[in-house]
A and B are shown apart, each in its own frame.
Chain A
Amino acid sequence: MTGRQWASGIGGLLVCLALWQVLVGSGFVEYDLLPSPWTIAGGLATMVTEPAFAVEVGHTLAATLIGWLAAVLAGTGLGAVLGTSPLARRYCLASIEVLRPLPAVAFVPVALLLFGFSLQMELLVIVAPALWPALVNTMEGFAGVPQRLTDVAATFHLKRSTRLLRVYLPAAAPAVVVGMRLSLSLALVMAVVAEMVGNPEGLGYALVREQQALHPDLMFGYVLVIGLLGMLLNGLLVWGSRLALPGLFRRPVARWDSA
């Protein structure tokens, strides 16, 4: 993005906000429950100072991260096995293709039935869908290691562990990171969903609570916070993977990549 593009991007945002403020503030658009940006900012300011706010953010963040870690560990592990063994792939791929489209929300009633209103319930709803991107990307990364590299490893009679760590893992790392990124954004989405219709805690529940209490300013405040949390988590992960794998992002990445 050039400076001029930043300027017009910020300009576009400000124009929209100003238009919204003027239309709602002047009473030209009368939607009982649509607050003006200024009111939302006020609601956000009071919301952030409440002690409960930190607890809500902490709960959602903890559920997201724990669920994500579990999904990534299981997903990359299984993905590595499936990626390195054509036999395992042949005997599992169809099951995966059948289970993967299962919509994640459908796990909410099952999770509530098994765990009641608890963190475990949230974790089941998070891990079940967040497993797939990690698994599938890792599998494809490991299966796509160039033949030249595996031939070299075979020629040197490398031990299986060395082969995994020194040949496969570095070659598959970019795909694994992509899977981790997709898993993370999915984990946050599912944490919010689980709190909206399941476990009454965290940001997702706060959002629904304010909606039912007819506090649109606070509700929009929570929407903003959830969006910012998503951007922050994704930013941290990109920054972390840049540190761990220099060169991964060296090629210019398309601005509209669908992550």
Chain B
Amino acid sequence: MNRLLPAWVGLVPLVLVLIVWQLAVPAASPNFPPPLAWWRSLLAMAQAGVLLPAVFETLWTFLAGLAIAIVAGFGLGVLIGTVRQVRDWSALILEFMRALPPPVVVPIAVLMMGFAPAMKLTVIAITAAWPILLNTVAGVQAVPPLLSDVGRSMHMPWHERVLRIVVPATVPALLVGVRVAVALAIVITLLIEIFTSLPGIGVLMVQGQRNYNSAQVFGLLGLVGVLAYCLTIVFALIEGLVLSRWPPRVARR
């Protein structure tokens, strides 16, 4: 928790930089507009009615893509982790896919699916599923042998062994994967918007840049930073909450 919500004194350098920036730079600076100009630019966009729909669109795309990624990544990860044959046969394919920079998926998807909303979700789901899948596979393989032996000696059928032993034991590994996936999904969501000009915060940034409206670009950069920080905190809180009650404790006899 100490690393999550650090003491406020740690914010001093950041606040100092912003204050110095505000005081030292003229308000009309073409390249480095002062922070208050960012704020005014954000307010102007909000009053024009373009900011909130863009923020909503970006957040929705991010959450929907991430949700698909979690389901698909965890499901495939459990399958690959539990069945040795699948693991061996897919090992090299996974190894190459892991080395591939996620952004290259964007042009491929645009070429094959066009500028459809489904394309956005597919790209986010595919790229964000990756860390979840790899961590789940690792988690499944790290299930203590004692647990799997218990399942076998109780002659549980395989689906019960997966549901009642493997899946619960893998949840902490899944959460680690989700943490990485959250950061990746934010990046990919913005990249799609910048690359394809589909509606969202990314497009507003590109428009600001093309119009040489530097206050708009910096303002949106700040907004994106705040959003990303809040999302990170929210997911870290969820992770902490789940882990503090995991594994579910059963009364010992």
Q: Do A and B bind each other?
A: yes
Over the window 137-166 of chain B, the binary record of Cβ atoms lying under 8 Å from chain A Cβ atoms (1 yes, 0 no) is 110010000000000000000000000000
Q: Secondary structure at chain B's binding surface: helix, strand, loop or mixed?
A: helix
Query: By the criterion CB–CB under 8 Å, are A114 and B104 in contact?
Result: no
Contact between chains at B7 and A214 (CB < 8 Å): no
Contact status B141-A196, CB under 8 Å: no
**Chain A stretch 197-213: residues in CB contact (< 8 A) with chain B:** 197, 204, 207-208, 211
Indicate the member of A9, A106, A258 with the most B CB atoms within 10 Å.
Answer: A106
Report A229 CB to chain B, min CB distance, Å: 9
A180 adjacent to chain B (CB < 8 Å): no
Q: Is A91 an interface residue (CB 8 A)?
A: yes
Q: Is the CB of B221 within 8 A of A110?
A: yes
Residue among B107, B218, B221 facing the most chain A CB atoms (10 A cut-off):
B107
Chain B, Cβ-Cβ closest to A107: B221
* Residues B209 and A109 in contact, CB atoms below 8 Å apart: yes
B164 to chain A, nearest CB (A): 23
Within 8 Å of chain A (Cβ to Cβ): is B250? Answer: no
Q: Does A34 contact B (CB under 8 A)?
A: yes
Question: How far is B91's CA from A223's CA once the two chains are assembled, in angstroms?
Answer: 19
Q: Please choose the segment from A43-51, A94-102, A156-164 that sits at the chain B interface, where 4 or more of its residues have CB less than 8 A away.
A: A94-102
- Let me know if A196 and B106 touch, CB within 8 A: yes
Contact A211 B101, CB 8 Å, known A5-B91, A91-B10: no
Kindly list chain B residues whose C-beta atoms are within 8 Å of the C-beta of A219.
107-108, 111
In the complex, what distance in Å separates the CA atom of A102 from the CA atom of B10? 17
* Interchain CB contact under 8 A, B195 and A197: yes
B49 sits at the interface (CB 8 A): no
- Mask for B93-111, Cβ within 8 A of A = 1, else 0? 1011001111110111011
Distance (Å) between the CB of B235 and the closest chain A CB? 10
Cβ–Cβ contact A99 & B14, under 8 A: yes
In contact, B112 and A33 (Cβ under 8 angstroms): yes
Q: Are A94 and B9 in contact (CB under 8 A)?
A: yes
Instruction: Decide if A12 is an interface residue (CB 8 Å cutoff).
Output: yes
Minimum distance in angstroms from B205 CB to a CB of chain A: 4
Does A227 sit at the interface, judged by CB under 8 A? Answer: yes
- Is there contact, CB below 8 Å, between A230 and B100? yes
Q: Is B10 in contact with A12, judged by CB distance below 8 angstroms? A: no
How many interface residues does chain A have, given as a range?
A: 35 or more
Tell which of B40-48, B66-74, B116-124, B222-230 binds the partner: B222-230
What CA separation (Å) do A110 and B219 show in the bound complex?
A: 10
Q: With CB as the reference atom, state the residue of chain B lying closest to A17.
A: B93
Contact for B228 among A102, A185, A192, CB less than 8 A: A102
Give bound CA distance, A193 to B103, whole Å.
Answer: 7
A residues less than 8 Å from B59 (CB atoms): none
Say if the beta carbon of A16 comes within 8 Å of chain B.
yes
Q: Which of A94, A105, A223 has a CB less than 8 Å from the CB of B10?
A: A94
A123 CB–B CB distance under 8 Å: no
A13–B89 Cα distance when bound, in Å, is 8
Provide the bound-state CA to CA distance between A92 and B8, in Å: 10
Question: When chains A and B are docked, how far (Å) is the Cα of A94 from the Cα of B233?
Answer: 13
- A50, chain B: closest CB distance, angstroms: 19
Which of A96, A188, A256 is the one whose CB lies under 8 Å from B134? A256
Which residues of chain A are near B225, meaning CB under 8 Å?
98-99, 101-102, 106
29 residue pairs bridging A and B, Cβ less than 8 Å apart? A8-B91, A9-B93, A12-B90, A12-B91, A16-B93, A33-B112, A94-B6, A94-B14, A95-B14, A97-B4, A97-B10, A98-B225, A99-B14, A104-B187, A105-B202, A106-B220, A109-B206, A113-B214, A114-B31, A193-B191, A207-B104, A207-B107, A208-B107, A223-B104, A223-B108, A226-B104, A227-B104, A228-B99, A258-B131
Question: Besides the contacts A93-B10, A94-B8, what 19 more A-B pairs have beta carbons closer than 8 Å?
Answer: A8-B85, A10-B92, A16-B93, A91-B9, A98-B225, A103-B190, A107-B221, A110-B218, A112-B209, A113-B209, A185-B101, A193-B101, A196-B103, A196-B195, A207-B107, A211-B110, A254-B138, A256-B138, A258-B131
